[in-house]
Amino acid sequence: MNITRRRLGTLTAALALSAALHVPGRAEAAEGTIKIGILHSLSGTMAISETVLKDLMLMLVEEQNAKGGLLGRKIEAVVVDPASNWPLFAEKARELLSRDKVAAVFGCWTSVSRKSVLPVFEELDGLLFYPLEYEGEESSKNVFYGSSVPDNKAIPAVDYLMSASGGGIKRWILEGTDYVYPRTSNKIIRAYLTLKGVADEDIRENYTPFGFSDWQSEVAAIKQFAAAGEPTAVISTINGDANVPFYKELGNQGVKATDVPVIAFSVGEEELKGLDTTPLVGHLAAWSYFQSIDTPENKAFIARWRAYTGNPKAVTNDPMESAYNLFRLWVAAVEKAGTTDVAAVSAAIIGEKVVSPTGYDVVMNKNHHVTKPVMIGEIQPGGQFQIVYQSKPMAPHPWSPYLPQNASRAEAE
């Protein structure tokens, strides 16, 4: 009995000492891994673009774990494949939050996939880190947006094309995939062009389905519209693997950048990998990052990526840079908060900044969008981009001031 009492006394003292030494947030260190969800299409029409983001996230998790993890715990990536199926995105998001109990989800590419999962994140109070530029016109306490909106991408791109150095463009072809991002972006672009005095007859707008491949007639129509004689450009919001036959058909029909430049908002180094870029030289893309950026930070980013993939020719692109920044911002916020709690992390991340591979500071603002520059690059023969225009970092305004219904909201941001 005395031995039992002594053991109980020792145990009680140990528990008391443990309680006295407790530090808030440190309890999580003994609770196993911190799970994060990776929600990207690994099959279907968007796999051409999204698979690389899954691989990048796995690299970042591996690197963070090599540093000791987060809050003393290893990070565990839970990878799912919503297969370019928009309702399946919502189903997989619900599984990640409800079944797998992830602390955050990094994923989605298209706006239709993001719109599909948004109600799930708001219902279950999860965190989505979204790495793509998009159409704006959205605000959610459960989403942090890592790239550009029309106000700091599409509109500066239009201004560049209107300028003498951009070709003094007078007529415009808005060519997009038929879903929310192209249609909303083009609504904003059309409103801006009208404000700049462009007549309706000088704007052609066309949409095709995801995975569209029969571009012969549409490229012929682009050539016909451009034959009016005034400088003409195509603003492309075509997404996914439809870009491959589109660019091939441009080459087949001899649509050169010197005649009708195409500026793409969803084509980067990854999409150009499978193309003969020789006939596409001079066509453009607008992003906030290109692999060709010459900074020490970017050289290190590329080297890490190539070492991880084992491919000395592996390319980087803008969505990868955005995903990279978002992961680091989340890690910094979790460390600052001392917990993965959604409310605590959401509060801690505001005002956090990381140095991007571009060399610029990327700052998370109160509106859950980041301050980033816009860059315009010309396609080069080897599939890279030569940067022909670069702005300073621009504050994000997700509610476009060029849509009348947003006037008061945009001013208040």
Is 113 domain-assigned?
yes
The model's confidence at residue 282, banded by pLDDT at 50, 70 and 90, is very high
Predicted confidence (pLDDT) per residue in 206-250, tens digit? 999 999 999 999 999 999 999 998 999 999 999 999 999 999 999
What letter would DSSP give residue 393? P
Give the pLDDT of residue 262.
97
Same domain, 120 and 83: yes
Reference 125, options 346, 366, 348; nearest CA is: 346
Predicted confidence (pLDDT) per residue in 106-155, tens digit? 999 999 999 999 999 999 999 999 999 999 999 999 999 999 999 999 99
* DSSP symbols for 62-73: HHHHHTT-BTTB
Q: What gap in Å lies between CA 319 and CA 240, rounded to an integer?
A: 13
Element (H, E) at 34: strand 34-39
Q: What gap in Å lies between CA 104 and CA 342, rounded to an integer?
A: 8
Give the pLDDT of residue 15.
36
Instruction: Please give the mean pLDDT across all residues of the chain.
Output: 91
pTM score: 0.89
Looking at 262-405, list the stretches that DSSP marks H as alpha helix, in order from N- to C-terminal side.
269-272, 296-309, 318-337, 342-349
Q: What percent of the chain has pLDDT over 70?
A: 91
Is 194 domain-assigned?
yes
Predicted confidence (pLDDT) per residue in 8-30, tens digit? 344 344 334 333 333 333 334 34
Same domain, 274 and 402: yes
Reference 172, options 207, 210, 199, 137; nearest CA is: 199
CATH number at residue 289: 3.40.50.2300
Domain limit, last residue, from 368, 387, 402: 368
Give the pLDDT of residue 19.
36
What does the chain come to in residues?
413
Q: What percent of the chain has pLDDT over 90?
A: 86
Same domain, 299 and 363: yes
What letter would DSSP give residue 355? E
Same domain, 109 and 210: no
Contact 293, 257 (CB under 8 A): no
Q: Cα Rg for the chain, rounded, in angstroms?
A: 24
**How are beta strands 385-390 and 203-208 bridged, if at all?**
unpaired
Same domain, 155 and 246: yes
Residue 3 has pLDDT above 60, yes or no: no
Contact 242, 45 (CB under 8 A): yes
Residue 201 has pLDDT above 90, yes or no: yes
Is 19 domain-assigned?
no
Domain that holds residue 107: 34-150+295-368
Give the pLDDT of residue 38.
98
Output the six-digit token pair for 159. 């201004």
Output the six-digit token pair for 161. 């094309």
Give the pLDDT of residue 314.
96
| Chain mean position to CA 71 | 27
Is 283 domain-assigned?
yes
Give the pLDDT of residue 229.
87
Longest pairwise C-alpha distance within the chain:
103
Predicted confidence (pLDDT) per residue in 300-342, tens digit? 999 999 999 999 999 999 999 999 999 999 999 999 999 999 9
